[in-house]
Structure 1
Amino acid sequence: MKGLFCRAALSDAEPKFVIQETSLPEVLDSQQVRVQVKACGLSPLDLKLLADVGIQRDLIPVGREVAGVVLQVGDKVSFFQPEDEVVGILPLDSPCSGLCDVIDIDEHYLVQKPEKLSSVCVAGALRDGLCAYTALHTHARIAAGHTLLVMDGASSFGLMCIQLACYHGVKVLTTSHSPQQQTFLEQLRPSVAKVIPVYNDSSDLLSVVLEETGGLGVDIVIDSGVRLQEEESEENKLLPHKHDVISVLGVGGHWVTSHKDLQLDPPDCRLLHLKSASVTFLNHEVWTASSAQQGRYLHILRDLVEKMSAGVLSVINFNTA
């Protein structure tokens, strides 16, 4: 049985991906489930995160969001039986690649897959759905009547945030990074109240947000990264500046950031203090890196797949729309 693995570079060279022969033990651990993989999502590898949590291997498995059918269960497994359809995310320290035909995984990382939900769709959308759920519910604690600003709404993560927020009665503003994205996001109205173009020099994020919120600012901002300086590389020029994000926040607002190395200067902290606003860091990997809140994690996964099955969360993508 073959799987895809990444061989981390020892220097600044690019990591290499290799197909490696693997095998599973003959006897399952008592709480493990053997799953025949039907679909696997490919998400970027965070090699620095793996090093930070002490996971150091020559070969790192690729592909962690899986959907499949249970073949065999350990003697203490209570949630599943053979032939059950399941979906889940392999933990950071899993030795298995999700691209193998058959994998072993602890039952506490899996949930039942609704029958009418496609394995391909759920495997492809699970990571972004988990990120959106974590950002909006766990960090921002959204409620009906809130106003949300989603940066880069045409991204897969941004679209999941928009759909989940609209389901809960939240007013959604979002930004677009190109004329094509602007056209695509405009089609989501009335779910999206305002699409703000940020791809030209005349864009003024702050003035548009204040106009849409009656000068109050938004309750929640979710970004996909920010600029720490005015002068940034070409690939980061469309990201919002950190001061702009803080400026559009209302009193008591929440900023959920994906920026791993965020640095706030004293004036930024002073502005946050004046607004009694907060900043939280979005790291969805904490769910599988720690077992402290395993029950809540499984509740999130179940709720996600149920919303996908019910059509509340659709797997739409700007690149394929």
Structure 2
Amino acid sequence: MKGLFCRAAASDAELTFLMEEMSPPDVLCSHQVRVRVKACGLSPLDLKLLRDVGVHRELVPVGREVAGVVLQVGPKVSSFQPEDEVVGILPLDSSYSGLCEVIAVDEYYLVQKPEKLTSVCVAGALRDGLCAYTALHTHARMAAGHTLLVMDGASPFGLMCIQLACYHGLKVLTMSQSAQQHTFLEQLRPSVGVQDPLVVRVIPAQDESSDLLSVVLEETGGLGVDIVVDSGVCLHEDKEEKKLLPHKHDIISVLGVGGHWVTSHQDLQLDPPDCRLLHLKSASVSFLNPEVWTASSAQQGRYLHVLKDIVEKMSTGVLRPQPEEALPLYEATVAMETVQRHQKKKVVVQL
């Protein structure tokens, strides 16, 4: 049985991905379950994060968002039975690649998969759903009546944020990077209920005449937004980069009093004027790291509750991710190289 692994190198540019033989243990631990994997989502590998949390391996397993069927359960497992369909995210220190045909994983990292959901759909969207929940619920403490600005609404993560926020009664604004994205975002409608647009205003980032601050102030009556969620930030006045990413000063400027900025930028640097503006608005900044759930067991119960809620909302149509085309296993190595170079944000492999 083979799985996909990454061979660590001196620099991330020299990473190599290869298929290696691996076999699951014959005897399961008390709370482990043996799962036959049916689909696995591939996301970019963050080797720096692994080193920071003390995971040092020459071969790093690749593919952690898995969906499959339980084959066998350990003696103290209480949540699952054989033939149950499950979905989950393998922990950072897992020795298994999600592309192995059979894996062994603790029951505390899995939840039941609803029958309505396909394995490919849930494996491809689970991580983005978790990021959206972490950003809006855990960090921003969203509530009905709040105003949200999603900087990259057409991305898988941004789409989850928009749908989740609308479900909870938030007013949503977003930005588009192209005319095609603009049309897609303006046509978003809920699957049930009143068919009003999910987004009240789509701001074209590619249009240089479109001033983000003036549009936001117009839509919020001059107050600014309560929450901003980004997918990356431009730290310097680089014209090429600024076309794709919002500048940090623009984000702080559109925040209202007591507003909250949730950023995905790991190396964010705020200058004294930026901090002063945040202070004047009594606003705050949070760093979005979805791995914190599996890196720490302090809130394991809450984490499982979040995963259950995500798959339930996906099965009822509240969260509707963009469908991902499933790739066969023999294309996994090349596909992962593409994902790692950020040429594609998500790939799903069907086993």
The residue that corresponds to 2:273 in the other structure is 267
The residue that corresponds to 1:308 in the other structure is 314
The code of the aligned residue for 1:142 comes to M
- Seen in structure 2, the aligned counterparts of structure 1 residues 116 and 93 have a Cα distance that, compared at 3 Å, is same
Q: Please give the alpha-carbon distance, in whole angstroms, between the structure 1 residues aligned to 2:22 and 2:32.
A: 18
The residue that corresponds to 1:72 in the other structure is 72
Matched, 1:117 2:117: yes
Matched, 1:248 2:247: no
The code of the aligned residue for 2:258 comes to G
Matched, 1:186 2:192: no
Q: TM-score, normalised by structure 2?
A: 0.88
- Seen in structure 2, the aligned counterparts of structure 1 residues 13 and 277 have a Cα distance that, compared at 3 Å, is closer
Q: Please give the alpha-carbon distance, in whole angstroms, between the structure 2 residues aligned to 1:144 and 1:23.
A: 49
Residue correspondence of structure 1 range 120-159 to structure 2 within 5 A = 120-159=120-159
CA contact (8 A) 1:156 1:317 kept: no
SS state at 2:200 partner: strand
Shift of the alpha carbon at 1:14?
2.0
- Seen in structure 2, the aligned counterparts of structure 1 residues 113 and 12 have a Cα distance that, compared at 3 Å, is closer
Shift of the alpha carbon at 1:173?
0.1
Q: Please give the alpha-carbon distance, in whole angstroms, between the structure 1 residues aligned to 2:275 and 2:55.
A: 34
Unpaired segments ≥5 residues, structure 1: none
208, 215, 222: which one aligns with 1:201:
208
The code of the aligned residue for 2:167 comes to Y
The residue that corresponds to 1:296 in the other structure is 302
CA-based RMSD of the aligned residues comes to 1.5
Q: Please give the alpha-carbon distance, in whole angstroms, between the structure 2 residues aligned to 1:237 and 1:45.
A: 26
The residue that corresponds to 1:239 in the other structure is 245
Q: Please give the alpha-carbon distance, in whole angstroms, between the structure 2 residues aligned to 1:151 and 1:11.
A: 30
The code of the aligned residue for 2:152 comes to D
CA contact (8 A) 1:186 1:192 kept: yes
Q: Please give the alpha-carbon distance, in whole angstroms, between the structure 2 residues aligned to 1:306 and 1:13.
A: 39
Q: Please give the alpha-carbon distance, in whole angstroms, between the structure 2 residues aligned to 1:14 and 1:126.
A: 29
1:268-303 CA-partner distances (Å, limit 9, x unpaired): 111111111110000000000110110110000000
1:57-100 CA-partner distances (Å, limit 9, x unpaired): 11111110001110001111111111111110000000000001
SS state at 2:43 partner: coil
The residue that corresponds to 2:223 in the other structure is 216
Matched, 1:35 2:35: yes
Shift of the alpha carbon at 1:10?
2.3
Q: Please give the alpha-carbon distance, in whole angstroms, between the structure 1 residues aligned to 2:12 and 2:310.
A: 38
CA contact (8 A) 1:155 1:317 kept: no
The residue that corresponds to 2:59 in the other structure is 59
Q: TM-score, normalised by structure 1?
A: 0.97
Aligned identity (percent) is: 81
- Seen in structure 2, the aligned counterparts of structure 1 residues 13 and 184 have a Cα distance that, compared at 3 Å, is closer
The residue that corresponds to 2:44 in the other structure is 44
| 4+ long deviations beyond 4 Å | none
Shift of the alpha carbon at 1:218?
0.2
CA contact (8 A) 1:7 1:59 kept: yes
Q: Please give the alpha-carbon distance, in whole angstroms, between the structure 2 residues aligned to 1:211 and 1:236.
A: 23
Q: Please give the alpha-carbon distance, in whole angstroms, between the structure 2 residues aligned to 1:316 and 1:121.
A: 9
The code of the aligned residue for 1:203 comes to S
Q: Please give the alpha-carbon distance, in whole angstroms, between the structure 1 residues aligned to 2:242 and 2:91.
A: 30
Q: Please give the alpha-carbon distance, in whole angstroms, between the structure 1 residues aligned to 2:271 and 2:87.
A: 43
CA contact (8 A) 2:153 2:174 kept: yes
Shift of the alpha carbon at 1:186?
1.3
Q: Please give the alpha-carbon distance, in whole angstroms, between the structure 1 residues aligned to 2:309 and 2:167.
A: 13
Q: Please give the alpha-carbon distance, in whole angstroms, between the structure 1 residues aligned to 2:2 and 2:234.
A: 41
SS state at 2:14 partner: coil
